Amino acid sequence: MSFPDPRMIQLVMSLRGGGVTDKDVLGAVERTPRNLFVPERFGDQAYDDRPLPIDCGQTISQPLIVALMTQALKLGDRDKVLEIGTGSGYQAAILAKLARRVYSVERYRTLSKEAEARFAELGLSNIVTRVGDGSIGWPEQAPFDRVILTASAPERPDAILEQLKEGGIAVAPVDRGNTQILVRYEKTADGIVETDLMTVRFVPLIKGEARAL
């Protein structure tokens, strides 16, 4: 008989205290072993509620931010989701437990390949990855029900928002001077409705595919 990892129990309790109320999101976090997504040298910190370094100078986001962003998407099990910035694959793995299919774009080939291996290990067959320029989204697969950016855009990401269905929701960190604000965008018949959610800190969204790594 297996018992829940006490570190995971503590993490979920921390997320609840931080404002994550969606039981489906909490359940997806609880079923996603974060230790598989962090470098081995940080394994003892895998379930701490903090960001950690990964390859290519990137980071795996703080679990609370991952959960709050996922909650803000209001995902349904038939949703088609675009993720900009695969990174370690942790965010995509959580999305995949809540949505029909996840399309994830990463500019670093190394990160994309490592994430693919983790998805295979976890049996997550509903994630499609691509190495490329995340700043232009994934036009060939548009439109999407939901979009999430895991890197901070220098301005409103209109090229990506154009790939959102009417009635769809996007969540993205956006630069506002020296501050980054997490913004929820809802696409209506009359245009885009913006709601500022919180101050965050993400790596920048960089145009183009990385030439190395």
The single residue of 2, 14, 61, 88 carrying the catalytic annotation is: 61
Residue 89 main-chain phi, psi, to 5 deg: 100, 0
125 counts as catalytic: no
**Which of 57-89 are b and which e, b meaning 16 or more Cβ less than 10 Å from the residue's Cβ?**
ebbbbbbbbbbbbbbbbebeeebbbbbbbbbbb
Alpha carbon 183 to its chain's center: 14
DSSP state of 61: P
User: Which residues neighbour 140 within 8 Å (Cβ) at sequence distance 6 or greater?
Assistant: none
Asked whether 159 and 207 are in contact (CB, 8 A), the reply is: no
Of 45, 23, 24, 20, the C-alpha closest to 34 is 45
As annotated, the active-site residues are: 61
